[in-house]
C-alpha cells in the first residue's frame, strides 16, 4: 500500500472496533506498525481481538451515545498510548426496517444517537488530544448519505448528518492542522449490511441493480480504503469504485424519488413495513 510507512508508530482510536469493518481496520493498522485503541461496548469480542493483535492493541469499554463514557474511554486510551494521532468514528447500527409511520420512535432515535450523535461525541472527546498532534479524523458515513432510504430513514438521516457534521468540522478546524475525512461505502459484508438488505427498501433497490453493483463488498476491502485514507489524510474515501459516481450525481438522483415512490416492488416493501394510519 502506498504511504504505508506513514502509519508506523501512529496511535489510532477506532469506535465500533471489535468486529466488522472496525476489526479489519485494526488488523491492517497493526500490520503496518500502528498501535490501536479499540473502543466498543462488546468487551468480550474486543478482548478476543486484542488477544489476536497482541501488545499493539488495547480494548476500552465505551458507549458512543454517552459523552461521559467517551471522554473517559478516550482519556484512558490517550494515557495508555501517550496520545492520539488518528480517530476512526466507525460505530454504527442499521435500525429497524419500518416506515416513518410505523417505526417505534425510540428505535428510530436510537439509530440517530449511535450513528450521528456518536460521531459527534467521538470527535468532541478526542479533539483535545488531536489538536496538539495535528491529527486526523475519519468519519464513516455511507452512500446512504446521498440516496433515498425508504424504510430505513433513521440510518439515512444519520449518515447525511455525518456528512454535514464533517463539512462543519472542516471549517471549524481549518486553522488547527487537524484534517477531517469522510468515508462513503456501498454495502459492506457485515451484520449491519445483512440487517439493511433484509426486508428494507434499500434491499429492493439493490435487487434491481446489476449483480456487480448490488453485491456487498468484503469488510477487508472497506478497511483497506480506510487504512489508505488514513495514510493519505484523505478528505474522501470510497468503496467500491462506483460509489463516487453516485456521490457526485446526487442532484439528479433526487429526481428519482418520485419514480421510486410508484415503483411496484418498492410500494410492496413500503406496504409491508407500514401500519394503518388513522384518518
Report d(CA 152, CA 141) in Å as an integer.
15
Cα pseudo-dihedral 256, 168, 237, 108, rounded to 10? -60
Q: Which of 129, 136, 155, 184 is catalytic?
A: 155
Report d(CA 254, CA 188) in Å as an integer.
24
Cα pseudo-dihedral 155, 159, 165, 171, rounded to 10? -170
Report d(CA 157, CA 238) in Å as an integer.
19
Query: Is 238 assigned a catalytic role?
Result: no
Please answer whether residues 2 and 228 qualify as being in contact, where contact means their C-beta atoms are separated by less than 8 angstroms.
yes
Q: Return the C-alpha cell found at 215.
A: 453485491
Q: Angle of helix 43-53 relative to helix 20-31, nearest 10 degrees?
A: 20
Active site residues: 155
Amino acid at each position: 500500500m502506498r504511504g504505508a510507512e506513514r502509519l508506523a508508530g501512529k496511535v489510532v482510536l477506532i469506535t465500533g472496533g471489535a468486529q466488522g469493518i472496525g476489526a479489519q481496520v485494526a488488523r491492517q493498522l497493526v500490520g503496518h506498525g500502528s498501535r490501536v485503541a479499540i473502543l466498543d461496548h462488546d468487551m468480550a469480542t474486543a478482548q478476543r481481538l486484542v488477544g489476536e493483535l497482541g501488545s499493539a492493541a488495547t480494548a476500552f469499554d465505551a458507549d458512543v451515545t454517552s459523552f461521559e463514557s467517551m471522554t473517559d474511554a478516550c482519556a484512558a486510551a490517550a494515557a495508555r498510548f501517550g496520545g492520539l494521532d488518528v480517530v476512526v468514528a466507525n460505530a454504527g447500527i442499521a435500525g429497524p426496517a419500518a416506515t416513518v409511520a410505523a417505526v417505534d420512535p425510540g428505535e428510530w432515535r436510537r439509530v440517530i444517537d449511535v450513528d450521528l450523535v456518536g460521531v459527534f461525541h467521538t470527535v468532541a472527546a478526542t479533539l483535545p488530544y488531536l489538536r496538539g498532534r495535528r491529527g486526523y479524523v475519519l468519519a464513516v458515513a455511507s452512500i446512504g448519505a446521498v440516496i433515498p432510504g425508504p424504510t430505513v430513514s433513521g440510518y439515512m438521516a444519520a449518515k447525511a448528518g455525518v456528512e454535514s457534521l464533517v463539512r462543519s468540522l472542516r471549517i471549524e478546524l481549518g486553522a488547527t492542522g487537524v484534517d477531517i475525512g469522510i468515508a462513503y461505502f456501498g454495502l459492506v459484508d457485515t451484520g449491519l449490511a445483512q440487517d439493511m438488505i433484509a426486508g428494507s427498501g434499500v434491499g429492493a433497490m439493490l435487487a434491481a441493480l446489476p449483480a456487480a453493483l448490488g453485491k456487498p463488498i468484503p469488510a477487508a476491502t472497506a478497511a483497506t480504503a480506510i487504512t489508505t485514507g488514513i495514510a493519505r489524510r484523505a478528505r474522501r474515501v470510497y468503496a467500491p469504485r462506483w460509489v463516487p459516481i453516485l456521490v457526485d450525481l446526487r442532484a439528479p438522483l433526487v429526481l428519482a424519488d418520485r419514480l421510486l415512490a410508484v415503483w411496484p416492488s418498492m410500494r410492496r416493501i413500503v406496504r409491508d413495513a407500514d401500519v394503518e394510519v388513522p384518518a
